Amino acid sequence: MDVTPQTHPEHGLRLPIIGFVLSILLTVAALWVTYHSHLNSAGIVTAILCLAVVQIAVQLFLFMHVLESDDVPWHVLLLGLGLILVVAIVAGSIWIMTFHTEAY
Amino acid sequence: MATLEHSLPQGEAKVRQLPMEYSSDEGRLRIFGFWTFLVTDMILFSCLFATYAVLDKHIALGPRPSAIFDVTGFSVETMILLTSSFTSAVATFAMRRREKSTLVVWMIITMLLGAAFIGLEASEFLKDVHAGATMEASAFLSAFFTLVGTHGLHVSFGIIWMTCVVIQILQRGITPITSRKVFITGLYWHFLDVVWVFLFTVVYLIGGMY
């Protein structure tokens, strides 16, 4: 069995460190937007949801090596399907139940 | 072990470049299987998120979200979990360099950070319950404790699981099988961080605006 260290150049510590700094900065930015910015509430919600999406991208690409595979990364397709289901469940529930709240 | 050696791909430069945990068909299949589990777990959390998003203003006679959320408390929890995600990535890096003791040290740091997170969350829950904000006080609190508690259970399970993997690393060293286990626990840990980022944003920041 081949026992020489098998590391790619991109697996250096540079990416995790960049990811860590970014993740802390994004959290601080979300806290600042929520408690110190002068945006209205819709603006705050949009801004911090966008920051959360960037934060997820940092985790997926810099920490989880999401595109890493010996062949076609099939799990990425599966993650795409999962994302569609998640959006359908969350957005669908909010959309349906908004009418329920208004009927109160 | 013999079967693993047998199934090593021969003469494929592309495959040989991949780290050890991908060196057998079984390893690759299990990593794919774990991604599948993560997608199903993501759907489980999305149902709980949907429930929370629908019920977060249904406070009945209980407290408003902003009355029970402690900004410093949940910010510290977030920083701890983000740091543990980073230390878990460093552990995977050490594993790929075949540095056994470095790997074990970073995994133990990750677990300690996870334990600190769970400790803070448990004390937050206890404080809420003592203040009368119990699970049955309102729909908001039911949704809150179920969503945040499910995440906390995942983190607790992750600590136990990682402990088992550390014991195996100490006993067997870094092999194709243990390296796959380290990689998969790492994926799990980063996934919990992803879920927490949404908890932080949706439950604490957006929920706390009411």
Q: List, for residues B41-68, the tens digit of each pLDDT value.
A: 999 999 999 999 988 888 888 888 888 8
The top-scoring range by mean pLDDT among A71-80, B42-51, B170-179, B199-208 is B42-51
A-B Cβ pairs (cutoff 8 Å, strict): 142
Q: Is residue B42 part of a domain?
A: yes
How far is C-alpha B18 from the geometric centre of its chain's CA atoms? 25
Q: Is residue B2 part of a domain?
A: no
Determine the pLDDT at residue A102: 59
Q: Is residue B5 part of a domain?
A: no
Q: Is the pLDDT of residue B12 over 60?
A: no
Q: How is residue B174 annotated by DSSP?
A: S
Q: How is residue B99 annotated by DSSP?
A: -
Q: Is the pLDDT of residue A54 over 50?
A: yes
Q: Is residue B135 part of a domain?
A: yes
Mean pLDDT of chain B: 88
Alpha-helical segments (H) within chain B: 2-6, 13-16, 25-55, 65-68, 71-96, 100-130, 139-172, 176-198
Q: Is the pLDDT of residue B13 over 60?
A: no
For the CA atoms of chain B, what is the radius of gyration? Answer: 20
pLDDT band at A68 (very low <50, low <70, confident <90, very high): confident
Q: Chain B, 87-126: which have a CB under 8 Å from a chain A CB?
A: 88-90, 93, 96-98
Q: Chain B, 26-45: which have a CB under 8 Å from a chain A CB?
A: 28, 32, 35-36, 38-40, 42-43
Q: Is residue B3 part of a domain?
A: no
Q: Is the pLDDT of residue A24 over 90?
A: yes
Structure-token match 């136990």, residue found: B160
> Mutating which of B85, B97, B175, B185 best tests the A interface, going by the most A Cβ atoms within 10 A?
B85
Determine the pLDDT at residue B6: 43
Residue ranges making up the domain that contains B73 = 21-209
ipTM here:
0.84
Q: What is the mean pLDDT of residues B93-103?
A: 90
Q: Is residue B163 part of a domain?
A: yes
Whole-number Å distance between alpha carbons of B191 and B146: 18
Q: Report pLDDT digits (tens) over B171-190.
A: 999 888 899 999 999 999 99
Q: Report pLDDT digits (tens) over B28-38.
A: 888 899 999 99
Q: What is the CATH number of the domain that holds B74?
A: 1.20.120.80
Q: Chain B, 124-183: which have a CB under 8 Å from a chain A CB?
A: none
Q: Report pLDDT digits (tens) over B107-150.
A: 999 999 999 999 999 999 999 999 888 888 889 999 999 999 99
Whole-number Å distance between alpha carbons of B107 and B164: 11
Determine the pLDDT at residue A3: 43
Cβ atoms of B66 and B210 closer than 8 Å: yes
Mean pLDDT of chain A: 82
Number of separate domains in chain B: 1
Taking CA–CA distances from A44, the nearest residue in chain B reads B206
Q: Is residue B53 part of a domain?
A: yes
Q: Chain A, 9-68: which have a CB under 8 Å from a chain B CB?
A: 11-13, 16-17, 19-20, 23-24, 27, 30-31, 34-35, 41, 44-45, 48-49, 51-52, 55-56, 59-60, 62-64, 68
Q: Is the pLDDT of residue B195 over 80?
A: yes
**Among B43, B86, B187, beta carbon nearest to A85:** B43
Residues of B in contact with A43 (CB under 8 A): none
Q: Is the pLDDT of residue B17 over 70?
A: no
Q: Is residue B92 part of a domain?
A: yes
pLDDT band at A29 (very low <50, low <70, confident <90, very high): very high
B132/chain A closest Cα distance in angstroms: 25
